[in-house]
Structure 1
Amino acid sequence: MHSFFGSKKKFLFCILALFLSNLFIFIINKINIIDNNILIEKNQEITFLKNSNFYNLTGSSIFIDDSDPDFNWSKTAAEKDWVSGSGTENDPYIIENVIIDAQNPFNNETDIDDFIDIETSTAGITIQNSIVYFIIRNSTIYNSEARVYDSGIKLMNVNNSQLINNTCSSNSIGILSIFNYTYYISSSNNVISNNSLKNNWVGIYSYSINNKISNNIIKNNFGGIISMGINNTISLNSLDNNGDGIMLFGRNNKISKNNLTHNINGLWLLDSFNNSIVENSINNNSGNGILLQSSNYNNISKNEVYNNKINGIHLGEGFYPYMGPFLGPSQDTNYNWISENKVYNNSNGILLNYTNNNHIINNTINNNEFSGIELIFSDYIDILNNTIEANYYGINMEESDWNDIIQNTINNNYYGISLNSSHWNDIIRNILRYNRDCYIENEYSARNKYEDNDCLEPKINEINWVVIITIISLIGLAVLLVVILGRKRTATNLPAA
């Protein structure tokens, strides 16, 4: 644990800086809508709370540090009505029915070091250095956004918490879960569930281990979820109209059964390894559905990826944050499995550029505007048993070598398989029917093997002549009718003799 986070901690600020650079593009088009949504939602939230037993702590905040005798759980529970329980698994501390207007709006005159300091950031509710069991539920926190990491709810060095059915809006970060090394508490085994996170800069920022983020509504933020860690589960969340839906930076995480729609990129993995991306619905995003950069050994399977403006699934080149303020080209994205996905109605279905040793197997890839599968400078790719139909190119390869294209069904595309400056590829036992051309390759491609393919091309010349004759006949009839009608009108308008 320590080696992973120790080596990655320097990336923390440049990752968020990279992420926020995308978000500023988003701001201009959304700010008026978000302001109106905030006003409506605040009124709804306050009305709801006034109809229940609640504690209005507007203008103040909750701060619990279990390592400090003046601010620990036991002292707070003894003095405050809004805390109950004893901190055991069977009797956790509970904070509930609290409303906090943090009254901490954005301040562009804040000192820059203070502005980006994650550990000294404030929140409506802060819990830190705690391993006892506790629950925060049915509470509303808003207007904590003076600095980058100011939050609705902040957990630092916390284990064994549950955040359930809370509403966090108009904060820099809705829910923040992080750790440092001072107290050797990993910020793990926390549950973030059934919360509403709207109109924040980032909905959830998690730098943690073994956390569960599930069933949350994350909407109208400039970023949905940023997860940096190990063995986390992100499932059954609705992420709508954010900057990027989910940004993952870590390993051994599972992202499943989420709905990611109307974001920039639906799901973005950066420098991430051994993650599982399974059974998500990723649609109508203005960038990529799924984007992997500098990420290896990930499994992308059984997702439905459709109506995304750029690529359905994109692996490869991009920008990568080095140990400093500058951006450089990404490292390779290799050894990933893309299997059993439905990918349709995107610009490109699956795009790999500058990658090696990836596997594209048993996918259904239909009705994409350009290529079903496109390889650019990508080698040793296995493309096996896919159904690829009704795209412009079924498979298009640019400067890509040593790839295996085997036992795919590639029908009703304009071109079945196209090779440009690509060599030593094996194209074997594929079904290619009713494409304009089964396969084409330019003069700079060589040593490709075509073997045992079932190729049936339409009789294009016969079809074209029928179409051409029909069109000419219709045009001739139209011209003849115009001439006849013109003569009749002329005769009608002539003066009587």
Structure 2
Amino acid sequence: MKRTSKIKLLLLLLGIIFLILPSYYNNFNSIQIEQNNDLNVNLELNLKIPKPSGSWEPTNITIDGSATGVDAHNWTWAEKQVWCTGSGTASDPYVIEDVTIIHGVLDNGILIGNSSEYFRIENCTIIKSGSGSSNAGIKLINVNNGTIINNNCTTNYFGIYMENCTNNTISGNSLNKNRDGINLLKSNFNNITDNNMTSNSRDGLILEFCNHTKISNNNITKNSDNGIYINQCNNITIVKNNVSENLDNGIHLVRGINNTILDNHVDNNGLHGLNIEHSNYTNILNNTAFENNNNGIFLDLSYNNTVLGNNMTLCGIMITEASIKFMTSNTMDSTNIVNKKPLYYYTNKIKLVSNNFTNAGQIILINSNKSNIGSHNSIGIDVSYNSIGISLYHSHNNTLSNITASYNNYHGIYIYRGINNTIEECETERNSKYGIYLADGDINNVLINTGNNNEYGFYFNNEDSIFVSDNTANSNNKYGMYFYNSEGIKASDNVANSNYDGIYVKNSDSSQILRNEAKSNNHYGLYLYECDETTVSSNQINSNNYCGLKLYICNLNTITGNTAFYNIYKGIHLSYCFYSTLSNNLANSNGDNGIYISASDDNIIESNEANDNDN
């Protein structure tokens, strides 16, 4: 009975299991189908597993966009690396980010070549990547569509180097203590903005053979050569940069056409704020140039340029000499300011008067004649503390009077190829070069002026028939008065004391040096070198530290009535002089010889006095 009951119970349990099993199997199949469907969806969406975030320290990165093969380091390879994301499109560029490379094992920190994919190099630090002349922290060769942003490239040969590259942006980078901060070669349509280029051992930024590039809002300071150097580039825009405290030029533009330099600060540079060399059709607008050592703006053999609205302090504008046609091709006006006063620039004018120069900061005249600059009253004109106070080029029959032109970075007054101009009663002191400088002119008159404490007080180069009288040239570092290659000089009644040499005349014939005073000079009072048929008469040449009067390789001269006392060595010295007359001179109380003649013959020496000399 018991056995029969157990069998019935077992059959009942088996029946229940068979009833439940089909339902369980259907549920299991349903779960499997849903899981497979999810997997298929994921495969269809091609979802990538996100790469881990972080910073990376590879030894270097090299990508060649044209490379092929199993081991090719192209973008396909790069996107598999932990330091690269993106797909290379404009909307999803490749991104190389947060990479640090110090003392890389290859020559460049990051090198990308032969690429047109869109990419960005961002927030990377590259230090000491290589010191060879082709090495760079970041280097692009034959690359388009790249952005280099917010990177630090320090103590490399080049911070960033690009060659044959188009449509790239370099922005927000720190490029310090490299040889050059940024160097672009043969690269067009690029944008360089908001970078800091400081303390590089040569230039902050170099562009060579580049076109259609914009350089804006960069800070480029304290570089050992130029802040920005642009060589043989066209259609470059340089706008709103701070290019200051560089040892050479702020911005140096060489052999360019159709470039624009706008709204920049170029301050405290060792040479020029803007150096425009052999460059034409340049727009130089609204720049600020403060206390550059030479010029705020230097136009060096550059023509058809527009120079407007620039503000210069303790420097000004200088133009190199050329023909009238080229020199008058530039556009410039009184919207340019020098020391808070207008710069007056006139071409092809006649009969200008003082009212045309009201409150002048600087004056430039080209091919302008019969004008009166300054006045004989007590007001006058003060054009001090700039580059050249007054410059006249190819201008004739003008009178400059009662002008103060001192403390300029070059000259006080400069006249080039002028005829029959008169400079009178002007004060030119403490200019870095020449107080008054005349070159390649004829029949000019320099009267009653002061030229003290300059490098040269008065400098006359290739000036024929010049009359220089009643001027004072004291305490100049080199020469009180210097005449070179000039015929028919008449220099009379001038005072030239306490200079290196008082009056120096070289390669100049048929002149008269009369009644001048040249005392207490460090070397010679009066020195004539290769001068013939000249009269040297009635000069007071005393107490000079070497010799009072010296003639060297001078023939057919008359030296008469001069006084040479108390010179440290010789009173009068003739060396290699022939067929001259030395008469009625007084040469007493000199430290060596009163009159000393060496290697000279066929001279007439008579009625001279040489007493109380040491020899």
CA distance in 1, matches of 2:416, 2:132: 58
SS at match of 2:79: helix
Aligned residue type for 1:73: W
Q: In the alignment, what sits opposite 1:91?
A: 92
Aligned pairs for 1:312-391 (under 5 A) are 312-316=296-300, 332-346=301-315, 349-355=316-322, 356=327, 357-367=329-339, 389=359, 391=361
**Residues 420 and 275 of structure 1: is their aligned pair in 2 closer, same or farther, counting only changes over 3 Å?**
closer
**Residues 234 and 404 of structure 1: is their aligned pair in 2 closer, same or farther, counting only changes over 3 Å?**
farther
Aligned residue type for 1:401: N
The structure having more radius of gyration, on CA atoms, is 2
CA distance in 2, matches of 1:233, 1:101: 31
Aligned residue type for 1:217: N
Aligned residue type for 2:295: N
Give 1:135 deviation, angstroms.
Answer: 0.3
SS at match of 1:188: coil
Q: In the alignment, what sits opposite 1:401?
A: 367
CA distance in 2, matches of 1:162, 1:246: 21
Q: Is the 8 A contact 2:219 2:241 kept in 1?
A: yes
String of CA shifts for 1:190-211, please: whole Å, max 9, x gaps.
Answer: 0000000000000000121010
Aligned pairs for 1:112-127 (under 5 A) are 122-127=107-112
Q: In the alignment, what sits opposite 2:32?
A: none
Q: In the alignment, what sits opposite 2:287?
A: 303
String of CA shifts for 1:212-264, please: whole Å, max 9, x gaps.
Answer: 00000110102100012000000000011012100112000100000011102
CA distance in 1, matches of 2:108, 2:195: 20
Verify: 1:67 aligned to 2:39, yes or no. no
SS at match of 2:215: strand
Q: Is the 8 A contact 2:380 2:404 kept in 1?
A: no
CA distance in 2, matches of 1:390, 1:239: 32
Q: In the alignment, what sits opposite 1:191?
A: 169
**Residues 276 and 135 of structure 1: is their aligned pair in 2 closer, same or farther, counting only changes over 3 Å?**
same
Verify: 1:203 aligned to 2:181, yes or no. yes
CA distance in 2, matches of 1:425, 1:89: 67
CA distance in 1, matches of 2:84, 2:356: 56
SS at match of 1:56: coil
Give 1:291 deviation, angstroms.
Answer: 0.1
Verify: 1:232 aligned to 2:210, yes or no. no
Aligned residue type for 2:227: G
Q: In the alignment, what sits opposite 1:322?
A: none
Aligned residue type for 1:123: N
Give 1:417 deviation, angstroms.
Answer: 8.1
Aligned pairs for 1:13-32 (under 5 A) are none
Q: Is the 8 A contact 1:389 1:411 kept in 2?
A: no
Give 1:276 deviation, angstroms.
Answer: 0.4
SS at match of 1:123: coil
Q: Is the 8 A contact 2:268 2:291 kept in 1?
A: yes
Larger CA deviation: 282-291 vs 417-426: 417-426
Match of 1:260 among 233, 237, 243: 243
Q: In the alignment, what sits opposite 1:116?
A: none
Q: In the alignment, what sits opposite 2:200?
A: 221
Q: Is the 8 A contact 1:265 1:289 kept in 2?
A: yes
Q: Is the 8 A contact 2:394 2:416 kept in 1?
A: no
Q: Is the 8 A contact 1:345 1:368 kept in 2?
A: no
Q: In the alignment, what sits opposite 1:247?
A: 229
Give 1:74 deviation, angstroms.
Answer: 1.5
CA distance in 2, matches of 1:217, 1:138: 14
SS at match of 1:63: strand
Match of 1:150 among 135, 138, 145: 135
Give 1:72 deviation, angstroms.
Answer: 1.1
> Aligned pair count?
339
**Residues 162 and 403 of structure 1: is their aligned pair in 2 closer, same or farther, counting only changes over 3 Å?**
farther
Match of 1:169 among 145, 154, 162: 154
CA distance in 1, matches of 2:311, 2:358: 10
Q: Is the 8 A contact 1:155 1:178 kept in 2?
A: yes
CA distance in 2, matches of 1:411, 1:191: 54
CA distance in 1, matches of 2:221, 2:416: 47
Aligned residue type for 2:89: T
Match of 1:282 among 266, 286, 289: 266
Uncovered stretches (5+) of structure 2, i.e. residues with no partner: 1-52, 372-378, 406-411, 422-615
CA distance in 1, matches of 2:60, 2:296: 43
**Residues 358 and 414 of structure 1: is their aligned pair in 2 closer, same or farther, counting only changes over 3 Å?**
closer
Aligned residue type for 1:252: N
Give 1:313 deviation, angstroms.
Answer: 0.4
**Residues 419 and 339 of structure 1: is their aligned pair in 2 closer, same or farther, counting only changes over 3 Å?**
closer
Aligned residue type for 2:76: S
Q: Is the 8 A contact 1:351 1:374 kept in 2?
A: no
Match of 1:445 among 418, 439, 442: 418
String of CA shifts for 1:52-84, please: whole Å, max 9, x gaps.
Answer: 931012xx2100011102121112212x11000
Give 1:423 deviation, angstroms.
Answer: 2.5
Verify: 1:102 aligned to 2:74, yes or no. no
Match of 1:178 among 163, 167, 180: 163
Verify: 1:423 aligned to 2:390, yes or no. no
Give 1:354 deviation, angstroms.
Answer: 2.8
Give 1:362 deviation, angstroms.
Answer: 3.7
Q: Percent identity?
A: 34
**Residues 143 and 418 of structure 1: is their aligned pair in 2 closer, same or farther, counting only changes over 3 Å?**
closer
Uncovered stretches (5+) of structure 1, i.e. residues with no partner: 1-51, 105-120, 180-186, 317-331, 449-497
Q: In the alignment, what sits opposite 1:42?
A: none
CA distance in 2, matches of 1:211, 1:404: 51
Give 1:366 deviation, angstroms.
Answer: 2.4
Q: In the alignment, what sits opposite 1:455?
A: none
Q: Is the 8 A contact 2:334 2:344 kept in 1?
A: no
Q: Is the 8 A contact 1:164 1:194 kept in 2?
A: yes
CA distance in 2, matches of 1:403, 1:157: 56
Larger CA deviation: 352-361 vs 167-176: 352-361
SS at match of 1:280: coil
Write 1 or 2 for the structure with the bigger share of helix.
1
**Residues 380 and 390 of structure 1: is their aligned pair in 2 closer, same or farther, counting only changes over 3 Å?**
closer
Give 1:124 deviation, angstroms.
Answer: 0.3
CA distance in 2, matches of 1:404, 1:101: 69
CA distance in 2, matches of 1:387, 1:147: 55
TM-score by length of 1: 0.61
**Residues 380 and 298 of structure 1: is their aligned pair in 2 closer, same or farther, counting only changes over 3 Å?**
farther
String of CA shifts for 1:441-474, please: whole Å, max 9, x gaps.
Answer: 98973489xxxxxxxxxxxxxxxxxxxxxxxxxx
CA distance in 2, matches of 1:447, 1:367: 31
SS at match of 1:129: strand
SS at match of 2:78: helix
CA distance in 1, matches of 2:176, 2:391: 47
Q: In the alignment, what sits opposite 1:321?
A: none
Give 1:402 deviation, angstroms.
Answer: 5.7
CA distance in 2, matches of 1:63, 1:283: 40
CA distance in 2, matches of 1:442, 1:65: 60
**Residues 404 and 167 of structure 1: is their aligned pair in 2 closer, same or farther, counting only changes over 3 Å?**
farther
Give 1:145 deviation, angstroms.
Answer: 2.9
Q: Is the 8 A contact 1:358 1:380 kept in 2?
A: no
CA distance in 1, matches of 2:419, 2:197: 50
SS at match of 2:297: strand
Give 1:307 deviation, angstroms.
Answer: 1.0
